[in-house]
Structure 1
Amino acid sequence: MTATTEHEYEYEQAVDGFGTVRVERVDPDRDAALIHGWVANERARFWGMKETTVDQVREIYAHLDSLDTHHGFLARLDGEPVALFQTYEPEADRVSECYEARPGDLGVHFLLAPSDAPRPGFTANLLTALTTYALTGRTRLVADPDAANEKAIARLARAGFEVGPEVVLPEVDLPEVFIPEKKARLAFLTR
């Protein structure tokens, strides 16, 4: 598959001087190897999937795809995959045990693809497009990066998120998914 292959997409935004950002649903079969290459990278250690296999990544995103409350997306810039973006309904997630979710809230997770050629303003432009998409029909975004991920917390603050308290996200141990307990820092972006 080449970068010019068209995929069904949820959202598209042309950003002056940056390019066209498209948000498309993750296809677990098509995208597992790509996502695995990103999450197995040392820089993605806070994503919590460093030790997964391609098959496990496929299973994780197939499970996510089966839910009405959690969604995985690839962000593409001019056809090239550049980030993994996940959204979730806070009331259906462990984060709801750590703050009072409001109607109109949407949870977000964001992982940039590794790059050998950093580009000034890249993350800011991409994050602006993704938060614009996520805020469509919503009033507030909540992010919960790992509390030790100072770089991500600083990036969210620069993007206009209000950095909130440090919390402990409880362990999730269900037949279809296990997520260990994690210290996180909440951050909020209000429309």
Structure 2
Amino acid sequence: MSEAPLFTRTDPALGEFSLRPVDPPADAELLHCWVTHPKAVFWLMQDCDPAAVEKEFTRIAADPFHDAFLGLHNGSPAFLMERYDPAHRELVGIHTARPGDVGMHFLTAPTATPLHGFTLAVLTTVMEMLFVDPATRRVVVEPDARNTAVHALNKAVGFELRRTVSLPSKDACLSTCTRDQFLAAQGDHR
């Protein structure tokens, strides 16, 4: 049985969004469909089978510096979010992490019936969840430099591009968003 949501918010136009920890054995088949879909090319898991997806999310679940969460929209699985400590994962030696920095990745599920504003609502939910923790002072992301759609979304919620960095698997746009930047961007959307 899946765990209860750790965080829930209601979007006035789109309904309820919530997040719970990924359950690798129970969620592997679903996540396999998402991370191997052509729109998830930047997750670099295109050739994974369900067992490899389960193994990867089991590894994340055991890592004290990395977490994965399944996002629900009105109770149905709809997105994936990963949270990591950039002082210990992803950006070690590339980004000088400050106290309160939290790294994040997110992916919306493929759908045949897209909802206007859905991905922005997902990213807003993710950011709100991260900033609920008073220790979180800044969110750090490193999306692939070619992923222009996510760069526009990141900017919409307050991320500021710091620089392009070379990671082992990609050239990435290192960007950060403080709590104040996020709140200011939310004012722009109301």
**What TM-score do you get using the length of structure 2 for normalisation?**
0.89
In the other structure, the counterpart of 1:151 is: 149
Greater RCO structure (CA 8 Å; 6+ sep): 1
SS of the aligned residue for 1:129 comes to helix
SS of the aligned residue for 1:131 comes to helix
Kindly state the Cα deviation for residue 76 of structure 1 after the two structures are TM-superposed: 0.3
Structural RMSD (CA): 1.4
In the other structure, the counterpart of 1:90 is: 86
Q: Which sits farther off after the overlay, 13-22 or 44-53?
A: 13-22
In the other structure, the counterpart of 2:172 is: 184
Query: Of 6, 10, 22, which residue of structure 1 is paired with 2:6?
Result: 10
1:80-119 counterparts in 2 under 5 A? 80-119=76-115
In the other structure, the counterpart of 2:140 is: 142
1:31-180 counterparts in 2 under 5 A? 31-136=27-132, 137=134, 138-170=136-168
Query: Are the equivalent residues in 2 in contact too, given 1:165–1:186 (CA < 8 A)?
Result: yes
In the other structure, the counterpart of 2:183 is: none
Query: Are the equivalent residues in 2 in contact too, given 1:97–1:169 (CA < 8 A)?
Result: no
Q: Measure, in 2, the Cα distance between the counterparts of 1:7 and 1:15.
A: 22
Q: Measure, in 1, the Cα distance between the counterparts of 2:159 and 2:5.
A: 26
**Counterpart code for 1:78:** N
**Counterpart code for 1:48:** L
The aligned length equals: 177
**Counterpart code for 1:188:** T
Structure 2 runs not aligned, ≥5 long = 180-190
Q: Which sits farther off after the overlay, 117-126 or 32-41?
A: 117-126
Which stretches of structure 1, 4 residues or more, deviate above 2 A after TM superposition?
none
Structure 1 runs not aligned, ≥5 long = 171-180
**Counterpart code for 1:66:** A
Q: Measure, in 1, the Cα distance between the counterparts of 2:57 and 2:12.
A: 32
Tell me, yes or no, if structure 1 residue 26 matches structure 2 residue 22. yes
In the other structure, the counterpart of 1:176 is: none
Query: Are the equivalent residues in 1 in contact too, given 2:3–2:21 (CA < 8 A)?
Result: no
Q: Measure, in 1, the Cα distance between the counterparts of 2:128 and 2:90.
A: 24
SS of the aligned residue for 1:92 comes to coil
Kindly state the Cα deviation for residue 80 of structure 1 after the two structures are TM-superposed: 0.9
